[in-house]
Amino acid sequence: MLSENKKDADYRKRVFFSDEAKFHLIGGVNRHSAGIWGCENPHAVLKTVRDSPKLNLWCGLKNNKIVGPFFFSEKTITTNTYPDMLQLLVMPQIQDIRN
């Protein structure tokens, strides 16, 4: 990406970065989607409560502008609802950035 950015000054304007994370409302972190940095042993066992309530966060970055963030309860994001979420919430913000 750095070499592409050097060749084309408008490259970053055409790229859209996004990510999502899941947060356990009792304080746990989804270790599959989050890196944990610290002085403690990274192999330590973290206890979690099974089926605890969770919150999903989705955010994007386009042309140095933030898209979102959007918060969803865990049960609201499915393979069927994800495209609707993009169309109804994300696309209007991207259109605003483009204009």
Q: Answer yes or no: are the C-beta atoms of 48 and 88 closer than 8 Å.
A: no
Where are the chain's structural domains? 12-96
DSSP-assigned letter for residue 25: T
Q: What is the pLDDT of residues 25-75, one digit of tens each?
A: 876 655 555 566 677 666 666 666 677 788 888 999 988 889 999 998 867
pLDDT value, residue 42? 64
The CB-side HSE value for 10 (13 A sphere, CA atoms) comes to: 2
pLDDT value, residue 11? 74
pLDDT band at 2 (very low <50, low <70, confident <90, very high): low
pLDDT at 90 over 70: yes
In angstroms, what is the C-alpha Rg of the chain? 17
21-42 in b/e form (b: 16+ CB < 10 A) is ebbeeeeeeeeeeeeeeeeeee
pLDDT value, residue 41? 65
pLDDT value, residue 72? 85
